[in-house]
Chain A
Amino acid sequence: MNRLIYLDNNATTQVHPEVVEIMDYCLTECFGNPSTVYSFGRKAKRLMDESREKIAKMIDASKDEIVFTSGGTEADNLAIFGIAKANKDKGKHIITSKIEHHAVINSCKALEKDGFEVTYLDVDKYGIVNLEQLERSIKKETILISIMHANNEIGTIEPIAEIGKIAKEHKIYFHSDTVQSIGKIRVDVKEMNLDMISISSHKLYGPKGVGCLYVKKGTRLKPILYGGEQEHRLRAGTENVPGIAGFGRAMELAITDTDKENERLTRLRDRLQEGLAKRVKHIIFNGHLTERLPNTLNCAIQFIEGESLILKLDDLGICASTGSACTSASLEPSHVLLAIGLPHEIAHGSLRLSLGRDTTDEDIDYVLDVLPKAVDELRAFSPLYKEFLKKGK
């Protein structure tokens, strides 16, 4: 097997060659500390500032509103703990949803242990948050609403602009984890009334271990790391200059041509979905039919378990992922799949295929050819499938 069909782009992406190029330049010829006064150090600073400007421009922010971090997880942590620390005199209530990334959910859980109250909003069967429940949950102690833009597992896109409006009306800070949406769909912090958004470089063909938090001017936020005065005193530590340079280039590349790329990805994804619907019996598609990231396909294949399917696909040269309990350390199925109402045994057979820039029509044909066979092989010795067949008779 020499063919690699990478369908796990929501987990991470391949670094773009132009990103490698600028990082290489940075590592070899620009290794100075950006905080220094001499011109060699200023060179590194300039590279970093260019990245900051590019990123700011693409989300309609200004460059002093970008705080570089070590990735999406740190950006989420900074937003949540930073707001909690700076605003606890006003109140200790936070609203988020049941389908957030663990970077948000576990930060909120940690705050609960410190005496904060957190409301985890329900979602409907498509994964859309309940806006009525959101409005009902707001109280005068509410200091933050944190709702992701697009979900990493099922791809559902949340009504961020509407949530932004509600947050603004009530004068509550609004943070959105846009790690999965940036570079795939349009994000405009002004139009969407966003006070903070988290971005991660490795989801958009940039390097791992770098990202940023956009923080709107005037937002009351405290740092979570203490030390030097970097990043407007919000994130201490010598900056990851090569990472930041790569991140900036990756953002620029990701945001040019999104419309054409989205059209292409949507067509491929829909073809994959239609093909699977035809070739695999007892398959359920998860997520919203239209309000969904163009590259994401999540389904549950009944009577088989996800990890075993992933291993079979791996043997066939296909990289994919699952929300099955068997693959998590906690042995719990994905919290997102449970939140959209899937029973445990269905969540068990979940499969996420996330397409990317390199995905071709041939890849889709190949998956449509081999995946149904892999499913059949596993079903051939599934006691649940046997029972199902017997019941049907």
Chain B
Amino acid sequence: MYSEKVMEHFRHPRNVGEMENPDGTGRVGNPVCGDIMELYIKVQDGVIVDAKFQTFGCGAAIATSSMVTELVKGKTLDEALKISNKTVAEALDGLPANKLHCSVLAEEALQAAIEDYRKKEGANK
């Protein structure tokens, strides 16, 4: 039911684990099935230089987390904010219809991490 790309990211997820002293952390829960995704970013001069994740969820949730961390690296914050769940799903050659909500989780985790970073930045100024 999953594309080869999804399975490849599921089998070899990129950027897994906790990040030490992240500049931004986004933690979101999936109200639909109860899964949890945590995304960490490191930011330098407005550019995301590193991203990592931890996920408690299905195969699609793990693959989308992995993909989103790949997609954001090297992007400016504004560019990263444009990454939608659709972008992530497309980068994975599509997701089954009943698994699209898992990619929404990835989008929300990314947005939450950027928001967290901006809040911290604002407080430091």
The residues of A with any CB-CB pair to B shorter than 8 Å are 303-305, 307-308, 311, 315, 324-327, 329, 331, 344-345, 348, 380-386
Determine if A383 and B34 form an interchain contact, defined as CB atoms under 8 angstroms apart: no
| Chain B 8-31: CB-based contact to A (< 8 A → 1; otherwise 0) | 001101001110000000010000
- Chain B at the A interface: mostly helix, strand, loop or mixed? mixed
Determine if B34 and A381 form an interchain contact, defined as CB atoms under 8 angstroms apart: no
Number of chain B residues whose Cβ lies closer than 8 Å to a Cβ of chain A: 26
B contact residues around A381 at 8 Å (CB): 13, 16-17, 53-55, 62
A392: min CB distance to chain B, Å: 16
Determine if A383 and B27 form an interchain contact, defined as CB atoms under 8 angstroms apart: yes
Partner of A305, one of B17, B27, B35, B53: B35
Determine if B56 and A384 form an interchain contact, defined as CB atoms under 8 angstroms apart: yes
Partner of B33, one of A315, A325, A385: A325
Partner of B55, one of A307, A329, A383: A383
B contact residues around A304 at 8 Å (CB): 56
Determine if B58 and A308 form an interchain contact, defined as CB atoms under 8 angstroms apart: yes
Task: Sort A-B residue pairs by CB-CB distance and give the 6 closest, nearest first.
Answer: A326-B58, A325-B33, A307-B58, A381-B16, A383-B54, A331-B33
B contact residues around A383 at 8 Å (CB): 27, 36-38, 54-56
**Roughly how many angstroms separate A305 CA and B37 CA in the complex, as a whole number?**
12
B contact residues around A385 at 8 Å (CB): 56
A contact residues around B55 at 8 Å (CB): 381-383
With contact pairs A383-B27, A386-B18 given, residues A308 and B33 touching in the complex (Cβ less than 8 Å): no
- Check: B124 CB closer than 8 A to any chain A CB: no
- Check: B57 CB closer than 8 A to any chain A CB: yes
- Check: B59 CB closer than 8 A to any chain A CB: yes
B contact residues around A331 at 8 Å (CB): 32-33, 98, 101
With contact pairs A308-B57, A383-B56 given, residues A345 and B34 touching in the complex (Cβ less than 8 Å): yes
B contact residues around A344 at 8 Å (CB): 34
**Roughly how many angstroms separate A382 CA and B16 CA in the complex, as a whole number?**
10
Partner of B35, one of A315, A326, A380, A386: A326
Determine if A380 and B62 form an interchain contact, defined as CB atoms under 8 angstroms apart: no
With contact pairs A381-B13, A381-B16, A382-B54 given, residues A325 and B34 touching in the complex (Cβ less than 8 Å): yes
Can you name 13 A-B residue pairings with CB atoms under 8 Å?
A: A303-B56, A305-B56, A307-B58, A311-B59, A324-B33, A326-B33, A326-B35, A381-B17, A381-B53, A381-B55, A382-B54, A383-B37, A383-B38
| Chain B 40-62: CB-based contact to A (< 8 A → 1; otherwise 0) | 00000000000001111111011
**Roughly how many angstroms separate A344 CA and B18 CA in the complex, as a whole number?**
25
Apart from the given pairs A308-B62, A326-B35, 10 other A-B contacts in the complex at a CB distance below 8 Å: A304-B56, A307-B58, A307-B59, A325-B33, A331-B98, A331-B101, A345-B34, A383-B54, A384-B56, A385-B56
